[in-house]
Amino acid sequence: MDKKSDFKPYSKPHSTVIVGAQWGDEGKGKIVDVLAERSDIVVRYQGGPNAGHTVIVGSKKFKLHLLPSGVIRGKRSLIGAGVVLDPLALKAEMEEMRAAGVKITPKELGIAYRAPLILPTHRLLDGMQEESKKGKAVGTTKRGIGPAYSDLALRTALMFADVFAKDWPKKLEAAVFAHEEILEKMFSIKIDALCRKSIKELEAIPPFFEGFQANVNLEVTDALDAGKKVLFEGAQGALLDNSFGTYPFVTSSHPIAGGACIGVGVPPRSIDRVEAVVKAYCTRVGSGPFVTELSGKVADELRQKGGEFGTTTGRPRRTGWLDLVALRFSHRLNGFAGMHITKLDVLGGQPEISFCNSYEIAGKKVTEYPADPLATEKAKPVYQKMAGFGDLSEKEWAKVAKEGKTKGLDALPKNAIAYVNKISELSGIPIISVSVGPERESIIFAK
């Protein structure tokens, strides 16, 4: 070819993907919030309003569902095409953030033209489909996520760009009618008054979002080519990935690092680094295999002390000891350069801490995560134990966090250091930071 390609290579890629390494709820929001301070752009690449990222700033608690965590820092925040967007939910979230003093204008927030929409009827479909599964229900949030991604695969989805079309009301009416047909024929229900009200609100929504349209793919590409720092934020966790998680008890998208390329529209070589967020123990919401799940006193203590209730649903989370077999599998899927260990303080006060480094399946020792989802359901944890460490009360963790600025991880209690080092050793993932509390200031970076 005589003509040179117009494609510009990324001369100075400074991009990092943040991935939840377990089943979600690892504390990604706080980590992204802190790393956003060092970034130019934060972009959300998948999921929908089923996500729940909590960021605590001083006495204020911000609960984010669709907005990228970078908005709290006033950073340019983008919602990629891989995110299914509920315009009514996003509008309510933006209004709530503005009421709390967070500035959100088209300067701070951009939304991909190609982001598929979640309609009020998607939520109805989600609920009915979940109920129809009875004993085999997945445990979805019933926010319309699965049906919205289904429409995208069927090539019938409405996208954010459609909101600004002259015939938006007609497009919306046609999509709703198609859903009505399914609801009536498959589930024998009609759209209720509340849903009708939401549809009317959606018809009138274009003026609210005017100016927020963005060519996210181009903007991120240009930023990377200019050497700017881009932070890619995922939702849920790697073990809920639609292809590689505990199927069918998974989410409808790809939380793994590769999902960032698809959800934003950037080539794999543009990803400079992938970092994991790992909770010091494990939790899971909804149905599905959970090899290290606990019940009884310790489970209740971890749940209450860790505030293990869903940000989006309020549902109590299932709790268990750390599963290193699953973590190594997550590492294999994502290629983590390092990890941020969160909620270490929740384990404080336990006289003894257990972790799982292998499974027993049909009488055989297994150290790698099973490829067969059915095998995972039959797995039994093989635990190893370590001495616990003292209770990190709010006063104590504040002291540890303060000392961590100069001492790094050496500021932690001796047994706590031994525990996090063991996690690193057995998972093969270097430690970037450890959190000993919910505040921004509670993150201790390894020196």
- Domain of 178 in residue numbering reads as 120-209
Query: How many whole angstroms separate alpha carbon 362 and alpha carbon 109?
Result: 52
Residues 138, 286: one domain?
no
Query: How many whole angstroms separate alpha carbon 294 and alpha carbon 373?
Result: 20
Catalytic residue among 14, 25, 241, 323: 25
User: Does 38 map to a domain?
Assistant: no
Please determine, for residue 5, whether its predicted confidence score (pLDDT) is greater than 70.
Answer: no
Q: Which band of pLDDT confidence, cut at 50, 70 and 90, is reported for residue 10?
A: very low
User: Does 178 map to a domain?
Assistant: yes
Query: How many whole angstroms separate alpha carbon 347 and alpha carbon 435?
Result: 12
Q: Among positive and negative, which fits the CA dihedral 319, 321, 326, 327?
A: positive
Nearest to 236 by CA among 440, 53, 35: 53
b/e per residue 337-371 (b: at least 16 CB within 10 A): eebbbbbbbbbbebeebbbbbbbebeeeebeebbe
Nearest to 87 by CA among 233, 252, 206, 167: 206
Q: Which residue has the higher pLDDT, 421 or 394?
A: 421
Residues 313, 401: one domain?
yes
Q: Which band of pLDDT confidence, cut at 50, 70 and 90, is reported for residue 8?
A: very low
For the stretch 146-193, pLDDT in tens is: 999 999 999 999 999 999 999 999 999 999 999 999 998 888 888 888
How many structural domains does the chain have? 2
322 sits in the region (left: phi over 0; alpha: psi -120 to 50; else beta) called beta
Residues 187, 283: one domain?
no
For the stretch 206-247, pLDDT in tens is: 999 999 999 999 999 999 999 999 999 999 999 999 999 999
User: Does 423 map to a domain?
Assistant: yes
Q: Which band of pLDDT confidence, cut at 50, 70 and 90, is reported for residue 61?
A: confident
Q: Mean pLDDT across the stretch 406-428?
A: 96
User: Does 14 map to a domain?
Assistant: no
| CATH classification at residue 415 | 3.90.170.10
Query: How many whole angstroms separate alpha carbon 274 and alpha carbon 419?
Result: 23
User: Does 214 map to a domain?
Assistant: no
User: Does 378 map to a domain?
Assistant: yes
Residues 282, 190: one domain?
no
Please determine, for residue 313, whether its predicted confidence score (pLDDT) is greater than 90.
Answer: no
DSSP 58: T
For the stretch 96-136, pLDDT in tens is: 999 999 999 999 999 999 999 999 999 999 888 877 776 66
Task: Tell me the backbone φ, ψ of residue 220, rounded to 5 degrees.
Answer: -70, -40
Catalytic residue among 53, 179, 331, 340: 53
Catalytic site includes residue 179: no
Q: Mean pLDDT across the stretch 90-97?
A: 95
> What letter represents residue 34's amino acid?
V
Catalytic site includes residue 372: no
Residues 284, 194: one domain?
no
Residue at a domain's end among 209, 241, 268? 209
b/e per residue 396-430 (b: at least 16 CB within 10 A): bbbebbeebeeebbebbbeebeebbebbbebbebe
Give the pLDDT confidence score for residue 12 in this predicted structure. 45
> What letter represents residue 369's amino acid?
Y
Q: CA-based Rg of the chain, rounded to a whole angstrom?
A: 22
Q: Is the Cβ–Cβ distance between 386 and 414 less than 8 Å? A: no
What's the mean pLDDT when you consider all of the chain? 91
Residue at a domain's end among 187, 209, 231? 209
User: Does 68 map to a domain?
Assistant: no
Residue at a domain's end among 209, 234, 259? 209
Residues 306, 395: one domain?
yes
Q: Which residue has the higher pLDDT, 389 or 313?
A: 389
User: Does 409 map to a domain?
Assistant: yes
